[in-house]
Amino acid sequence: MLMTKRLALATLALSFVVAGCREMLTETPKNFITTDAYYRTPADIEAATLATYQPLGQADVWRRWLLWDTEMASDMTRINPDEPNFGTYHPGLLLWTPMDGSMTSPWNGLYTSIYRSNLVLENAPKVTFIDTKYQKQLIAEAKFVRAYDYLMLTKAYDDVPLLLTLDDHANTASKSRTPVEQIHQQLIKDLTEAEADLPDAPTQLGRASKAAAEILLADLYQWRSSFLKKPEWQETSTWAKKVIDNPRWGLTDDYLAQYLPANKGNKEVIFMNVSSGLDGRSSTDPNCNWLPRELGFNQAGGCEVVGQPTRWQYESYLCSTPDPLTFNASGRIADTTKIKTCDYRKQVTYRLGGCSTSASIGCIVFKWPNLNKFRPTNRGVGGPSDVDFPLYRYAEALLIYAEAQNELGNPAVAVGVLNQLRARARKGSGTALPEPHAYGTQPGEAIDVASVRSAVFQERNWELAHEGKRWFDQIRRNSLEPGYWKSTLVQHDPETATRGDVSEFRMRFPIPGPERTLNPNLTQNPGY
């Protein structure tokens, strides 16, 4: 993030944010003061704490670049051929370099959040609070956000500089990369401490709760157990089970309901980027990545449609009548009815046609399935989305627990958990559906560790589709089954194999070139 320069700029600029932070935790960019003179009251510390979350919902991280990188690099999503950058779009082809904005932006955004968290952690203990419990909560929130940032950094880049104090930030030009193990042990310490002081329910939408810390710990241990092959599946299971056993959280009856703006704060979404829909325009919003350009760019319900499902992803869902993609003579989807016989999650995650508010366009059948699980109230017309982007859901806690139990040698337990999700999907929106059937009830569905592992990863594809999970799942499973990452890209997304680069070093993002220019102690990942 050009950390040294940004530290100076942040110190100059952060005085403009406090009132906005106190009002609402939204996606709108904010700044905050870095001088010791500012952090004098509990309200100051609260405002600074809210500001730690904001980079996660900005363009550097989940509003654009980290989402685009992880979605389009995976075998789940591909850039739409109608996009002007179709021929050269590097996240989809894995042709990124250390100087590309797609690689430098996530680093920038996550380290901005880390810096803000360290401001809170250094200054909050110095301020006198009447409500000392809330003081501890704010410190816990800063530890949680910093831990989330570092987990994302280590998943993407491996070793990165571990900055825990403001002095560390002031000396980034000489900091070396810290081994992942040392970083993860710090995260385990921070999250264990944070979990004790976080509230059972988030104080505001988008803020951390006990369950958020618990599922983040489960995610951390899952990554360590799979990608790093540490014997920590029991820890993975234990932390996921804490979330599952908390009666505050659970599955919504309708899979789609959890994503709808009318249901903000529902029992399934544990941690999210909050979108108010009050500021900006459609093209600054993550939902713009999916809205089809042919409905009318940024005017009539359309936008950039950067991402679309690969054929493999779309056709992977269980259906009572096969639903292969076919096209008519004009290049549009030929059959829009068979999807109604499929897994409800497929029916609501994708749409095959839509209506523009422009009379000259009208209602059309699309040239390719369009993602439709994130549904803004304004349908993408004339403003940004009010859809919150989920970072952790209760369903993922179930899936992490199922995977851990299977790897511990309990595949039958894992199957029972998977079938909870399938049962919810069969209920649809109230009408019983034949698919997805309960796993283990059809020929060839063995209940052994290898078979259930495949079932768990497939269930993650369906349940967590287009939520930024699949790329990391491919990488994790490659450690358990060497060659998996490359083979799935070649088989499921042939364009990447023929026009891109599926060399295994591409599983790791490059350390940003601008950072290495400023800091010669930063080594580069192999292959770049």
Residues 327 and 432 in one domain: no
| Distance (Å, whole) CA 480 – CA 521 | 32
H helix or E strand, kind and range, residue 391:
strand 389-393
Classify residue 224: in a domain, yes or no: no
Classify residue 478: in a domain, yes or no: no
Q: What is the identity of the amino acid at 306?
A: V
Using DSSP's 3-state secondary structure scheme, residue 307 falls into: strand
Map tokens 């192999």 to a residue. Answer: 526
Residues 294 and 349 in one domain: yes
Q: What is the CA radius of gyration of the chain?
A: 23
Lowest mean pLDDT among 82-91, 131-140, 197-206, 312-321: 82-91
Based on the number of CB atoms within 10 Å of its own CB, is 501 exposed (0-12), middle (13-18) or buried (19 or more)? middle
Contact 509, 475 (CB under 8 A): no
- Give 286-316 pLDDT, tens digit per residue: 667 777 878 876 555 666 667 899 999 999 9
Residues 379 and 404 in one domain: no
| Distance (Å, whole) CA 450 – CA 444 | 13
Of 387, 417, 443, the residue at which a domain comes to its end is 387
Classify residue 359: in a domain, yes or no: yes
- Give 115-129 pLDDT, tens digit per residue: 999 999 999 999 999
Classify residue 525: in a domain, yes or no: no
Residues 442 and 354 in one domain: no
Residues 82 and 157 in one domain: yes
Map tokens 């179930």 to a residue. Answer: 398
- Give 317-373 pLDDT, tens digit per residue: 999 999 999 999 999 999 999 999 999 999 999 999 998 888 888 899 999 999 999
**Angle (nearest 5°) at CA 283 between 280 and 284:** 50
pLDDT at residue 382 tops 80? no
Residues 325 and 426 in one domain: no
Residues 343 and 463 in one domain: no
Classify residue 309: in a domain, yes or no: yes
Q: Where residue 275 falls among pLDDT bands split at 50, 70, 90? A: confident
Of 387, 402, 431, the residue at which a domain comes to its end is 387
Classify residue 40: in a domain, yes or no: yes
Classify residue 295: in a domain, yes or no: yes
pLDDT at residue 17 tops 90? no
| Distance (Å, whole) CA 202 – CA 212 | 9
Q: What is the identity of the amino acid at 394?
A: Y
Classify residue 399: in a domain, yes or no: yes
Q: What CATH number does residue 253 fall under?
A: 1.25.40.900
What is the span of the domain harbouring residue 269? Answer: 229-274+394-473
Sign of CA dihedral 97, 101, 105, 108: positive
Of 357, 387, 417, the residue at which a domain comes to its end is 387
Residues 80 and 158 in one domain: yes
Structure tokens at 62: 């989940």
Structure tokens at 199: 């509230």
Residues 127 and 179 in one domain: yes
Residues 289 and 405 in one domain: no
pTM of the complete model: 0.92
pLDDT at residue 30 tops 50? no
Dihedral, CA of residue 316, residue 320, residue 321 and residue 324, to nearest 10: -10
How many domains does the structure of the chain reveal? 3
φ/ψ of residue 109, rounded to 5: -65, -40
pLDDT at site 2: 56
- Give 437-472 pLDDT, tens digit per residue: 999 999 999 999 999 999 999 999 999 999 999 999
| Distance (Å, whole) CA 489 – CA 516 | 30
Q: Nearest Cα to 30, choosing from 12, 46, 45, 48? A: 48
Residues 128 and 245 in one domain: no
pLDDT at residue 483 tops 60? yes
User: DSSP letter at 184?
Assistant: H
Longest dimension (CA), the chain: 72
Can you list the pairs that 314-317 forms with residues at least 24 positions away whose Cβ atoms lie under 8 Å?
314/346, 314/350, 314/369, 316/458, 316/461, 316/462, 317/342, 317/343, 317/345, 317/346, 317/435, 317/436, 317/462
Contact 80, 89 (CB under 8 A): no
Q: What CATH number does residue 87 fall under?
A: 1.25.40.890
Residues 111 and 190 in one domain: yes
Q: Nearest Cα to 162, choosing from 145, 146, 140? A: 146
